[in-house]
Structure 1
Amino acid sequence: MPTTTADVIARVRTELGDLGAGFLKSFDGGHDSYETGVRNIDGSSVSVRILSGGVSTPVDPELVMLDLRTGLLSLAEPVPVGDKLLVSGTAYAMFSDAEITRFVQTAARQHCHGQTLQTRYREETTGFIRILRVAKTLSNLPEVEIDAVAILATIEALWTMLTDASSDTDISTAEGTHLPRGQRFDQIMRMIDLLTDRYKKLCQQLNVGLYRIEQGTLRRVSYMTGRYIPVFAAREYDEYGPPIRQLPDRDIPDQDESGIPSPVWGGFGY
């Protein structure tokens, strides 16, 4: 069963303890905009109804505009005076779905960077054995790695909370009251360190993600041309098909950017 973003989001919300809570708000009629007092609302769970004479009538969603982040509700027409506006749904204390989705996507890109999934198959038309290599993404992520991605996404969320907590300062009053607001920063930082160690251990045990063991190939330089000898990926003994050229990264911190060619023979450069 393929992994979905919703599955990882649910795991991240469990890690953060941001599971959401239902709300029901009632407002008097006579206005076309209302402040619900609820933030980070789940848009798919929102229900807007008008209560008139004991009868509840749903409002057309096309006539309702709700800011899921701030909870500001606007209607195309004012609610009749004497009626009640009922707003219900689910809201989260820390992050909206859009924010958690961004954390999950960032974690998936980092965790899957440079990794592929390989499948061995026989080609029907020729009978040759080939290996299909596809980039690892969240959609084809093995189930055993879901926890690692969820932990990494949780770390991303905690870094956002840490940035907000960095502006909190301790408060001391003349009456002797002391509020150590800086403890919130320290607690979040300790949790980030613990989750980072947890993620690192999972990656090392499964040899996946950012802390996997990577193997490289030493590259040779031709004495005749001074150019790198091409490197090709190793293949199975029964794998048929063209060789796969590898292009390792080259660090060039002292690159000459003048554009002047280097003379090698007869005053000509290349």
Structure 2
Amino acid sequence: MGVSPQTGGMARAVAVENAEGTGPFVILCDHASNFFPPPYDESLGVSDTDKSAHIAWDPGALGVAKGLAEQLDAPLVYTTISRLVIDCNREENRTDLIPSMSETTQIAGNCDLSEDEKNFRLDLVHRPFHNAIDKVLDQRKERGVPSAVVSIHSFTPVFKGNSRPWEIGLIYDNDRRLADPVLAGLKERGDLTVGDNEPYAPSDGVYYTIRRHGEDRHLPCLMIEIRNDEVKTAEEEARWTEMLAPILTRAAQSGSANAGGGTDA
């Protein structure tokens, strides 16, 4: 299974590593874990097969995120509870914040929830995750350390019967300071099919974390999606880390990415 809270029960739904890192990036991983703490391990009505599938987490994303945080000396903030309990990459008022249907799988234990239960889950994972990111970014601002925000995700090779040809996709909205140089760096390799706002775009409602902590703070920001059949093993995660780290480093050093990189609203 995926990452689980280290202190038992529900005491630790968010993890922060290398908070004092001085590199130019802050790395985020919204869907890092497929851990279901009690009572959600039984009450959601999710099979063991579904708990290990993409609907429960982003397989391979945390391994790449950890590798990048190490190579780039970046703080890393990630969740330690499955997104089927609550999705930290959704606004609090979204209907899919706590999904009753994920892709084609019904999540029976997420249907007809009370407001008290929704607020409990928000306070359990969602709000602590975003508060932890705010804390890291605020502390870096106080120290005068420039920050660019990057979130790492993975996606399925086939979604609702449609094959996805991209090994990697970059998701961005108005701020292109990282997207443009990273797109160029990936395409220069010549061995990748690179998604430009594929397989998702901000209009799909998947951009909350990056918008809140990147664009709303006027920080360079980017969401990276890697097809999950590319990151099935630790060796494959390391390969993507080695590929992305220098491209991100060059992007951070480019004039466009540096512009305003150390400020926020």
TM range (shorter): under 0.3
| TM-score, normalised with respect to structure 1 | 0.27
Structure with more helix by fraction: 2
Q: Indicate the structure whose relative CO is greater, using CA pairs within 8 Å and at least 6 residues apart.
A: 2
Structure with more strand by fraction: 1
Larger Rg: 1
